[in-house]
Structure 1
Amino acid sequence: MSYQHILVPVDDSPISYAAVEHAEEIAKAFSAQVTIMSVVAIDPFVGVDFYKVAPSITEYVFEAEKNAENRLNEIKQTLENHGLQVNTKIIREVPTAIGISTVADEINADLIVMGSHGRSGFKKFVLGSVAQEVLSESRLPVLIVKQ
């Protein structure tokens, strides 16, 4: 088995950076290309009266995109300094798992490496699990890095 293109979805959590480290080692072993991505989504529970909250949503989205872009560029620079070929991608306004699947298809990834916060029980029920959804829906191998 050989991997040519590894997709690594990240957020601002430490577990995302652990996933990047795992992806880096795999990419070095297989001389693979890496795409680091983030999903910026509007909170579906905001906006009961959209016209009253639109400015705050716009500011939130602007800040989230700026933070995601900075994070991706920082990771890209680090991996490029370590000799890897790296692309970045920001997906907007879709559920995270769908965004990850969309990018995986778009770039013809053959491996997804992502972190999992390891929630269980009630927290998992309320907050969901992006990693679980990607793992169950993906046709690709998925490496889950846990805390």
Structure 2
Amino acid sequence: MTYKHILVPVDESPISYAAVEQALALAKTLDCQVTVTSVIAVDPFVGVDFYKIAPAVTDYFMQAEKNAQLRLADIKQSFLRDGIDVDTKIIRGVSPAEGVIHVADEVGADLIIMGSHGRTGFKKLVLGSVAQAVLTQSPIPVLIIKV
């Protein structure tokens, strides 16, 4: 099977950058388009009294957005240096897995490459796994990079 459009979801973790490197190598080999996305989720404030912390929420989202924009711009340059057609997208207000699936559908991706911590047992149960959720919900192939 050949791929024409790779989606790479990233966050601030080194694992994301390992997925970016794999996507970069594969995109060069297959001469395909890449979309790099970052999801800004509401998760840190679930169950918190919004009115008491509204300024903190606003600051959090503004900083998260700025960090995501800088991260995506930096990653985009890596692809452009190698002559790879790349686009970036920021998704807001949904769970990371839901955002990834939505962007994959929206851009017509036919492969998702993402990193995973490879947690197991209790750590996976407590911390959840975005990669696991995407893997089970995605209608397209998902390549998981474990670091």
TM range (shorter): over 0.9
1:67-104: per-residue Cα shift (whole Å, max 9, x none)?
Answer: 01100000001110111111000000100000000000
1:108 maps to amino acid: G
Partner SS for 2:43:
coil
Output the TM-score relative to the length of structure 1.
0.97
1:22 maps to amino acid: Q
- Is this contact kept in 1: 2:43–2:95, CA < 8 A? no
Q: Does 1:104 align with 2:107?
A: no
- Deviation of 1:46 after TM superposition, in Å, equals 4.2
Q: Does 1:121 align with 2:121?
A: yes
- Deviation of 1:61 after TM superposition, in Å, equals 0.5
Inter-partner Cα distance in structure 1 for 2:44 and 2:28: 39
Q: Which runs of 5+ in 1 are unaligned?
A: none
Output the TM-score relative to the length of structure 2.
0.97
The count of aligned residue pairs is: 147
Percent of pairs identical after alignment? 64
1:97-131: per-residue Cα shift (whole Å, max 9, x none)?
Answer: 00000000000000000000111111111110000
Inter-partner Cα distance in structure 1 for 2:47 and 2:129: 23
Inter-partner Cα distance in structure 1 for 2:67 and 2:47: 22
Inter-partner Cα distance in structure 2 for 1:2 and 1:36: 19
Q: Does 1:35 align with 2:35?
A: yes
Partner SS for 2:11:
coil
- Deviation of 1:43 after TM superposition, in Å, equals 2.3
2:66 maps to amino acid: K
Residue aligning to 2:55 = 55
Inter-partner Cα distance in structure 2 for 1:136 and 1:37: 19
Q: Which runs of 5+ in 2 are unaligned?
A: none
- Deviation of 1:50 after TM superposition, in Å, equals 0.8
Residue aligning to 2:67 = 67
Inter-partner Cα distance in structure 2 for 1:129 and 1:119: 8
- Is this contact kept in 2: 1:42–1:57, CA < 8 A? no
Inter-partner Cα distance in structure 2 for 1:28 and 1:43: 35
Inter-partner Cα distance in structure 2 for 1:48 and 1:81: 43
- Deviation of 1:30 after TM superposition, in Å, equals 1.2
Find runs of 4+ consecutive structure 1 residues off by over 6 angstroms: none
Inter-partner Cα distance in structure 2 for 1:48 and 1:131: 26
